[in-house]
Every structure is written in C-alpha cells, then in structure tokens.
C-alpha cells in the first residue's frame, strides 16, 4: 500500500506543523475504478474540490521561515479519503454524503455506488494511518518543545459548492478557522493581522473549526491549532497559475508561523 502522506522535517526547535490536507489530485487506480465519474467529470470535480497548490504555498512559507516548521502533506486526493472529516456519526457532512469517504460529489451527484462496500478498507488503508502519523508528529513536537501548533493550510473556490452545508455565508479573502479549546485568542489575532494585506478576514465563515488529532481533542491544551482558508482567486488565476497575490499569501503564512513560534 503506497503511503498517502509525506512528512518533511522542520527545525528541531520548531513547535509548528503546517498541515496540508487537500492539495493533491492523485487517486490510486483501484480507487479511481470505483468512482462513477468519467475522466472529464472527474477533472471538473478535482478542479472544484482540490485546494490547488496549497502544498506549494506551505513549502514556500516553510523555506522562508526563520525557524523552519514541520510539514505534513496529504499526497492523495480528498476523493480517496478526507482526513479532516470525522470517520463516524459526529461528521456533519455525512448528511450531504461527504464524510470521511465521499459518497456524493460537490454538485450532489453520486461519486460512489449506493452499494459501495469499500469504505472500511479505505479508512483502514489511508484514513487511520494518516491520523496516527499526524498524532505521532504532534506528540514528538510536544516532547521536543513542550507544545505543538498545527496550522491547517487550505484554500476554497470563489463559488459555493451546490452540495454543501454552509450556504449563504460570506466568502472572504481569508477565513480563519478556530476552536474554543485549541485556538488561543492571541493566535487568532496573529492570524488576522498576518493576512490582513490580502483583504477581508472572517472567523469560522464560511468554514469553521480546525484540525486537532482526536487523541488530544478537547483534552490537551499543549496542542494548539488554527486553520487558514484562502479564497483561491487571491493567489490563482482561472488556469490555476499563480498571480502576484501568491506573495502576499506566503508572506502572511510566514508571519503566522513566526508568531506561532513566539507564542509557543
């Protein structure tokens, strides 16, 4: 089984992990064969659902950071498994068929057959090993530095997906996702200041929350977490090429990494 994630080590004294869950498009052939879309439809779905080029933003920000953060990157498409969804009934997106293993597309079509029986295998092969590895990376940062700060790096499309639970919300240049327990107010403030050059910044709108490994969730305040969701047209043109805005996104992330290290 190919490993679906990549860990790029940072500096030993860094407490920051840049987590990039949705930038990849790769789908293994056996998983691809179970999707109900033809190649053109799949391309369109990947264009819509992928946080395109956010891995490059995280890598660039890491390179430019005085203290290099650790990177944890999903190298498989979220259409294989979505590591940020709960793998059980807690997941609100289950009600639109988009839990940890998507049954529906972003337009509400069937992505997998209604009698698809491969969900457990996908969770066992990809979801659980990923979650375990990220949990271990967080533990290792706590052992080394006393705390771990996850910065969850995303982007989102300017247009609302039809099949969604967040209709009618603002779609700002930057959305900061926070958690009452795991996001200190000082960290949220630092994120707002770091990205203000990009335009309007909203908290938990249109996407709420931030990733914390379940072992620590609501229990261990040495684990801090914050999500950045950049609206994709702040740094990409319609052909998914970078425009000049990418420098502001990378600079903003460098600032946030630096603040997170200082606050650690």
- The number of residues that bind Zn ion (CB under 5 A) is 3
- Write out the two tokens for 78: 């979220």
- Write out the two tokens for 182: 């795991």
3-class state of residue 77 by DSSP: coil
Helix (H) or strand (E) holding 62: helix 54-64
Closest contact distance (angstroms) between CB of 33 and Zn ion is: 25
Binding to Zn ion by residue 220, rule CB under 5 A? no
The correct pick among 10, 15, 22, 194 for binding Zn ion (CB under 5 A) is 22
Distance CA 96, CA 164 (A): 7
Torsion of CA 242, 231, 72, 70, to 10 degrees: 80
What number of residues does the chain have? 264
CB of 153 within 8 A of CB of 73?
A: no
The stretch among 3-11, 59-67, 151-159, 235-243 that binds Zn ion (CB under 5 A) is 151-159
The correct pick among 53, 154, 182, 231 for binding Zn ion (CB under 5 A) is 154
The stretch among 56-64, 117-125, 141-149, 152-160 that binds Zn ion (CB under 5 A) is 152-160
Identity of the residue, 156 or 258, whose beta carbon is nearer to Zn ion in the bound complex: 156
Distance CA 175, CA 194 (A): 12
The stretch among 16-24, 101-109, 129-137, 176-184 that binds Zn ion (CB under 5 A) is 16-24
The correct pick among 5, 24, 51, 190 for binding Zn ion (CB under 5 A) is 51
Identity of the residue, 19 or 22, whose beta carbon is nearer to Zn ion in the bound complex: 22
Q: Of 250, 48, 246, 82, give the one whose Cα is nearest residue 156.
A: 48
Question: What are residue 196's phi and psi, to 5 degrees?
Answer: -65, -25
Distance CA 152, CA 6 (A): 15
Identity of the residue, 177 or 245, whose beta carbon is nearer to Zn ion in the bound complex: 177
Question: Is residue 18 exposed (0-12), middle (13-18) or buried (19+ Cβ within 10 Å)?
Answer: buried
Identity of the residue, 155 or 258, whose beta carbon is nearer to Zn ion in the bound complex: 155
Beta bridge pairs of residue 102: 98
Identity of the residue, 51 or 220, whose beta carbon is nearer to Zn ion in the bound complex: 51
The stretch among 1-9, 89-97, 146-154, 189-197 that binds Zn ion (CB under 5 A) is 146-154
Closest contact distance (angstroms) between CB of 32 and Zn ion is: 21
The stretch among 32-40, 43-51, 121-129, 171-179 that binds Zn ion (CB under 5 A) is 43-51
Q: In the complex, which residues of this chain contact Zn ion (CB under 5 A)?
A: 22, 51, 154
């Amino acid at each position: 089984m190919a490993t679906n994630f990549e860990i790029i080590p940072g500096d030993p004294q860094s407490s920051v992990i840049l987590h990039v869950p949705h930038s990849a498009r790769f789908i293994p052939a056996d998983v691809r064969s179970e999707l109900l879309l033809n190649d053109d439809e799949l391309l369109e779905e990947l264009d819509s659902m992928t946080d395109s080029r956010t891995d490059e933003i995280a890598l660039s920000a890491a390179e430019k950071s005085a203290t290099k953060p650790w990177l944890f990157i999903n190298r498989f498409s979220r259409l294989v498994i979505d590591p940020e969804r709960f793998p059980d009934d807690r997941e609100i997106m289950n009600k639109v068929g988009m839990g940890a293993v998507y049954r529906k597309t972003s337009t509400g079509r069937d992505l997998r057959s209604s009698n698809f029986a491969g969900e457990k295998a996908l969770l066992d092969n990809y979801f659980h090993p990923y979650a375990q590895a990220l949990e271990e990376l967080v533990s290792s940062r706590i052992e080394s530095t006393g705390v771990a700060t996850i910065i969850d790096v995303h982007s989102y499309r300017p247009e609302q997906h039809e099949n969604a639970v967040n209709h009618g919300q603002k779609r700002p240049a930057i959305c900061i996702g926070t958690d009452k327990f795991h996001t200190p107010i000082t960290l949220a403030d630092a994120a707002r200041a770091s990205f203000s050059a990009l335009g309007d910044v909203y908290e938990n709108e249109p996407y709420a929350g931030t990733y914390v490994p379940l072992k620590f969730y609501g229990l261990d305040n040495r684990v801090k977490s914050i999500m950045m969701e950049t609206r994709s047209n702040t740094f990409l043109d319609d052909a998914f090429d970078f425009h000049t805005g990418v420098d502001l996104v990378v600079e903003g992330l460098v600032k946030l990494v630096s603040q997170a290290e200082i606050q650690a």
